[in-house]
């Protein structure tokens, strides 16, 4: 049973460029959350998607946008990249019907470097 898969694993961009990161959730999961993890920091919540809609959003600017597809996979788009966007971007999936907290299953992440 495949867990959460993310692509690409590493990428380098320059300031001002745009990037798209992709995520396939764990089989049976219907909710996808995206987190940004800067070096030496804990993951910071970006947003969560369920039924192809953004359910919740963290304190991130509109340059960060996302999408969820009918097969539950998701994309994270970041426009006008800044040096401070360099981080590990984590995708996590969960099952919305799970009682209590959405216990997250994380992928290995996409490491973005902005030069």
Residue ranges in contact with other proteins by CB under 8 A: 4, 33, 35, 40-45, 48, 56, 58, 90, 92, 96, 100-109
Q: Which phi and psi (to 5°) does residue 92 adopt?
A: -135, 140
**Do residues 113 and 12 make contact, with C-beta atoms less than 8 angstroms apart?**
yes
Task: Indicate the residue among 14 and 56 with the shorter CB distance to other proteins.
Answer: 56
Task: Indicate the residue among 58 and 65 with the shorter CB distance to other proteins.
Answer: 58
The closest alpha carbon to 8, from 28, 18, 22, 29, belongs to 22
Task: Indicate the residue among 15 and 66 with the shorter CB distance to other proteins.
Answer: 66
Q: How far is the CB of 15 from other proteins (least distance, A)?
A: 25
Length of the chain: 115
Q: How far is the CB of 101 from other proteins (least distance, A)?
A: 4
Q: How far is the CB of 45 from other proteins (least distance, A)?
A: 4
Task: Indicate the residue among 18 and 56 with the shorter CB distance to other proteins.
Answer: 56
The closest alpha carbon to 110, from 15, 4, 21, belongs to 21
Rounded Cα gap, residues 47 and 52, in angstroms: 12
Structure tokens at 107: 């992928």
Q: How far is the CB of 33 from other proteins (least distance, A)?
A: 8
């Amino acid at each position: 049973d495949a867990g959460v898969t993310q692509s690409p694993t590493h990428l380098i961009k320059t300031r001002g460029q745009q990037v798209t990161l992709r995520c396939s959730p764990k089989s049976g999961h219907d909710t996808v959350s995206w987190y940004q993890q800067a070096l030496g920091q804990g993951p910071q919540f970006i947003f969560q998607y369920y039924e192809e809609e953004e359910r919740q959003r963290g304190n991130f600017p509109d340059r960060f946008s996302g999408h969820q597809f009918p097969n539950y996979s998701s994309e994270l788009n970041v426009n006008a990249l800044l040096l401070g966007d360099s981080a590990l971007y984590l995708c996590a999936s969960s099952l919305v019907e799970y009682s209590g907290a959405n216990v997250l299953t994380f992928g290995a992440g996409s490491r973005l470097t902005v030069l």
